[in-house]
Amino acid sequence: MKLSRPVSWFLLAFGVWSWVIWVTFVKNLVKDSSGQAFDDGHPTAFFWVHLTLAVVSFVLGTVIGGIGLRGLRALRRTS
């Protein structure tokens, strides 16, 4: 399968965007002072659910960004 240049760039940008957004979210989650993420210093279900979402998004962002990067490299080799 051959990806076009715009699709490859979109996939790469999506991967980077996913990492930027979720790293910021996890930092804010860890620093949470509202009581949603931690109850007396112990992680709550809210924390674990959102941490799981972040980890899945890191994995998907890495895979999707990697596909975009491979598409761009393949286009460079054929040009």
> What integer is the mean pLDDT of 4-12?
97
pLDDT in the model for residue 3: 94
pLDDT in the model for residue 78: 85
More confidently predicted of 76 and 79: 76
CA distances from 74 to 2, 29, 50, 66, 68 (A): 8, 38, 36, 12, 10
Rounded CA separation 79/62 (Å): 26
How does residue 33 score in pLDDT terms, banded at 50, 70 and 90? confident
> What integer is the mean pLDDT of 62-73?
97
> What integer is the mean pLDDT of 67-72?
96
This prediction has a pTM of: 0.85
Within 10 angstroms of residue 11's Cβ, the number of other Cβ atoms is 21
Rounded CA separation 71/10 (Å): 11
- Helix ranges (H only) for 1-79 are 5-30, 45-78
